[in-house]
Chain A
Amino acid sequence: MSSDAMAIHAAEVGAGRPWVQTLHEWVTTVDHKRLGILYVLLALIFLIIGGIEAIVIRIQLMRPHNDFVSPQVFNRMFTMHGTTMIFFVIMPVMFGFANYLVPLMIGARDMAFPRLNAFGFWLTAFGGLLLYFSFVGGNGLYGAGNAPDVGWFAYAPLTSRAFSVGHSTDFWTIAVLVSGFGSIATAINIITTVLCLRCPGMTLSRMPLLAWMNLVMAALVILAVSPLTAAQIMLSIDRYLGGHFFDTQAGGSAALWMHFFWIFGHPEVYVLVIPAFAFASEIIPVFSRKPIFGYPAMVAATVCIGFISMAVWAHHMFTIGMNSMANTFFVLTTMIIAVPTGIKIFNWLGTMWGGRIQFKTAMLFCVGFLFQFLIAGLTGVMLGTAPFNWQLGNSYFVIAHFHYVIVGGIMFCLFGAFYYWFPKVTGRMLNETLGKLHFWLFFIGFHLTFDTMHIPGVLGMPRRIYTYEPGRGWDTWNLIIGIGAFIQGLAILIFVANLVFSYFRGSKAGNDPWDAWTLEWSVSSPPPSYNFASIPTVSSRRPLWDRKHPEDPDNRYE
């Protein structure tokens, strides 16, 4: 190590310096790894908050006519839970991982636009703070504040000033708007980084799937968040400048907001899930000891999903009274998207097939993901069947379905990613025993809650009700759902404890604890500033496999 590198290293460790200086460095950082960590920490804080909101919802619904919280509080809880989890947990955590991993995996020293990167993070962070400031400021600063209570998709005209007095809706609008600008900035950054900063030899067809999938995700962010941003501005114009876009009392259109929201909302699902696919596509091969099965098919399926996802939005709107032709069209596009998604599941299975599967915690989470995402996809087909959707839409079946996607699919992959890359980021391994406990508790809690949750939907229970009548066959199911929620909460606490414990006491990781194949494992853990002392050159999709097996390199077969 040169003396310069030593100095940088010492600066990073920060031994013996005042904490203000360390804080200043983190606040002013433009380093992709630090910003990545900041994104992830931000998301973890909001995950705890959003999780508490979910627990409040479930306690309230554990028995009929419960009065744990008032209807007003309940409505705020589900609005904040949804908004928080989508905009301030999953999106930032995915951006965090992308920020940290993409440059390392493509052999770059940083993101393309480091300052834009920091700008994007701080917009997201302040967006989140703004959202939560509504608890204080929603009714103005004279006391009882309130959080938004319009639901996370904030259908018009509930958001108009006639139905939403005070400023709670404005906090929601501006928070989403601000963080949306941050998302667009980060997306531009990811696209530019992936397209322009790949190391010599890394053609697009040799790029790790994680980079490919984040590229598609970033493109979707630009396409999807822009209409949402436009809609938020239109809503603000309605509320403050006398516009009538969504003001039905003055001839505006409520359905217009639905279109705007869901043309964001559905690609958004893929914005969240494609990075999760990316984790699975890196973790499953390493723990199966095989390269990903059908790399070109995986890339093609991802791009295909990206395109088709722009044409399915109105399947969220089958009940709004579109004509039969429109409904039929969106049934078709919705069902078609199941094909590339299926291809992915089969390719992951193909990767495991004939492998030597090691059930480390990261792999357990990915196998759990495969199982649950399969079910989520199939309930998605049911919901894509418009007539079935007329029954199931806006019922608890929908809630069960999309939590199956977001928790059973995305969160499971995300936990897998934590167990897989934590050693790289911190230099220490996450504890495997606690990890397995985390997995099994979360798995059991997840299934108790979300398997059960399909049933009240089938029995006619709509979403977003703060209480329900006894005797409709919903009581027992809601009790079980609540119990499962507590078990999941406990699992999350174990996970956080594991993060903290392992950060200080975990065993040393070394450069390459999993015997993996992508470039991030070729540098120290944590990686040095600017990642690579000299930019690597690659000649296949698995550069470290080539180094470890010079007698049988990958580029002979690709």
Chain B
Amino acid sequence: MAEKHKTEWRVVVGRATGIVVLLGGILLAAGLCNASAPPDNSVPSIFDPRSTPAESISHLSRFVLAITGLIFLVVFSLLLYAIVKFRNSDANSNREPAQVYGSTQIELAWTIIPILIVVVLFLATARVIHAIQDAPKPATAVEVTAIGHQFWWEFRYPALGIVTANELHVPVSDSAHPTPTFLKLLSADTDHSFWVPQLAGKTDLIPNRVNGMWIDPKQTGIFLGQCAQYCGTQHAKMLLRVSVDSPEAFDAWIHVQKQSVNRDDREVTGRQVFETTACVNCHAVGGTNATGRFGPDLTHLMGRSTIAAGAAENTSENLRLWVQNPGAIKPGSLMPAMKLSDADLDALVRYLETLH
């Protein structure tokens, strides 16, 4: 009987060690994966911040991780020690151990120490909350209104008179001349959440409510994110791209966006298809009679690298497929299949490709 207990115990220890090694391996791999994240920001890790709010969150997070990691190590060691040391063995198997009912001193100790830890964590947290939420808006800030729709993003720059969709352009902000972007967050239908992990934490877009957040990206490039509040069937493909531009590139982008569409009379058939079918009920093209607001503004469609809120690359084939059968790319999206003839479809796609 005693022998059996012993072998049983060995098996337990063996397996437990195996599992700890396995878990350790997983965590290590995670760390490596994190460390070797590709430089093109394709992995939107929260520990790879590129903007002040994300950075201060990352700092706080590392601090909290360190403290909780320490607590874990201490308590886990105690647990492991208890399991190994106080297991049932041959020497003591036939008598009951000393019956201990408790100790007020020990209870006080493990009440007061955690309270002190809580105080430290709370103060550190309160500081960061204040720093991020109550940050003053400088006069040089760019203001953008982001409106969540099922299942795409509308971005309006009220001071600049620009309306675009899904791909947010903001200027890079350097500490000498900060040009942060302040976002006013609204929703046209259900709840959404704006989350680009490398730039800031998420904030929800809630109908009938005005929320706000800000970013001040320190580096140019494309930053990825997506809707983080379940908003309906295609919540998964409500992707977000933030293009952080150099000041010159941002000015150039503004210049293009402010223009109405170039009249390209070569594609008059396509334009006619666009303007005489249901397209115009939902989509706007600046300078034409297409003024719908239910779907994304298409005035400068070709300036965007993706369509359908990031669900597909912006190519002729994808545009054609999207217009013909949106369900093939994004089943459940609110864009209806247009059921056009092949000739009309080709003409329409050619027209769309003139919208630079």
Residues of A within 8 A of B (CB): 70-72, 75, 149, 151, 155-158, 163, 248-249, 251-255, 288-291, 293-297, 319-321, 323-324, 327-328, 331-332, 335-336, 338-339, 342-343, 345-347, 349-350, 352-359, 364, 367, 370-371, 374-375, 378-379, 381-382, 385-395, 440, 443-444, 447, 451-452, 455, 458-460, 462-469, 471-473, 480, 552, 554, 557-558
Contacts and interface: CB of A to CB of B under 8 A. Distances in A.
Nearest to B93: A356
B195 interface: yes
Interface string B96-139: 11111111001100110011001001100110111011100000
Given A335-B122, A458-B47, A354 B98 contact: yes
Given A328-B129, A473-B33, A157 B26 contact: no
Nearest to A149: B233
Contact of A327 (B45, B129, B209): B129
Contact of B232 (A163, A343, A385, A554): A163
Contacts of A255: 206, 209
Nearest to A476: B33
29 contacts: A155-B191, A157-B191, A163-B189, A289-B97, A291-B100, A297-B102, A324-B129, A327-B133, A331-B126, A339-B118, A343-B107, A345-B75, A349-B78, A349-B82, A355-B97, A356-B88, A374-B79, A386-B125, A387-B128, A391-B61, A391-B197, A393-B202, A394-B228, A465-B226, A466-B236, A472-B43, A473-B42, A473-B45, A558-B101
B337 interface: no
B201 A319 contact: yes
A328 B126 contact: yes
Contacts of B249: none
Contacts of B129: 324, 327-328, 331, 386-387
Contact of A319 (B98, B103, B204, B234): B204
**Shortest 3 CB-CB contacts between residues of A and residues of B:** A390-B201, A460-B44, A465-B236
Contact of B60 (A288, A327, A387): A387
Contact of A335 (B8, B12, B121, B310): B121
Nearest to A296: B102
Given A255-B206, A345-B75, A339 B114 contact: yes
A356 B46 contact: no
A381 B27 CA distance: 19
Contacts of B231: 158
A444 B19 contact: yes
Given A371-B79, A385-B121, A391 B193 contact: no
A382 B133 contact: no
Given A163-B190, A331-B126, A378-B68, 12 more contacts: A248-B207, A254-B191, A254-B209, A255-B206, A290-B97, A293-B102, A328-B129, A349-B78, A353-B86, A359-B8, A385-B61, A391-B54
Contacts of B118: 335-336, 338-339
Contacts of A558: 101
B160 interface: no
Given A391-B202, A468-B236, A455 B101 contact: no
A378 B71 contact: yes
B320 interface: no
A156 B230 CA distance: 11
Given A157-B190, A349-B75, A458-B46, A382 B64 contact: yes
B124 to A, nearest CB: 8
Contacts of A251: 208
A460 B195 contact: yes
A382 B68 contact: yes
Contacts of B237: 467
Given A321-B185, A352-B82, A343 B8 contact: no
Range, interface on chain B: 35 or more
Nearest to B111: A343
B356 interface: no
A293 B57 contact: no
Contacts of A151: 230
Contacts of A440: 15
B2 interface: no
Interface in B237-251: 237, 239
Contacts of A323: 133
Given A320-B211, A378-B72, A387-B129, A460 B43 contact: yes
B33 A391 contact: no
B203 interface: yes
Contacts of A391: 46, 54, 57, 61, 197, 201-202
Contacts of A345: 75
A168 B107 CA distance: 50
Contacts of A386: 125, 129
A335 B119 CA distance: 9
A297 B34 CA distance: 42
B224 interface: yes
A386 B125 CA distance: 7
Contacts of B235: 75, 464-465
A558 B102 CA distance: 10
Given A294-B103, A327-B133, A319 B68 contact: no
A297 B104 CA distance: 9
A557 B76 CA distance: 30
Interface in B26-84: 26-27, 30, 33-34, 37, 42-47, 54, 56-57, 60-61, 64-65, 68, 71-72, 75-76, 78-79, 82-83
Given A151-B230, A294-B103, A356 B82 contact: no
Given A248-B207, A459-B43, A394 B193 contact: yes
A389 to B, nearest CB: 8
B180 interface: no
B331 interface: yes
A475 B332 CA distance: 24
A358 B22 CA distance: 26
Contacts of A455: 30, 33
A350 B103 CA distance: 10
- Which residue of A156, A255, A357 has the most chain B CB atoms within 10 A of its CB atom? A357
- Which residue of A354, A382, A465 has the most chain B CB atoms within 10 A of its CB atom? A465
Contacts of B99: 290-291, 552, 554, 557
Contacts of B157: none
A254 B209 CA distance: 9
Nearest to B332: A71
A349 B15 contact: no
A323 B134 CA distance: 9
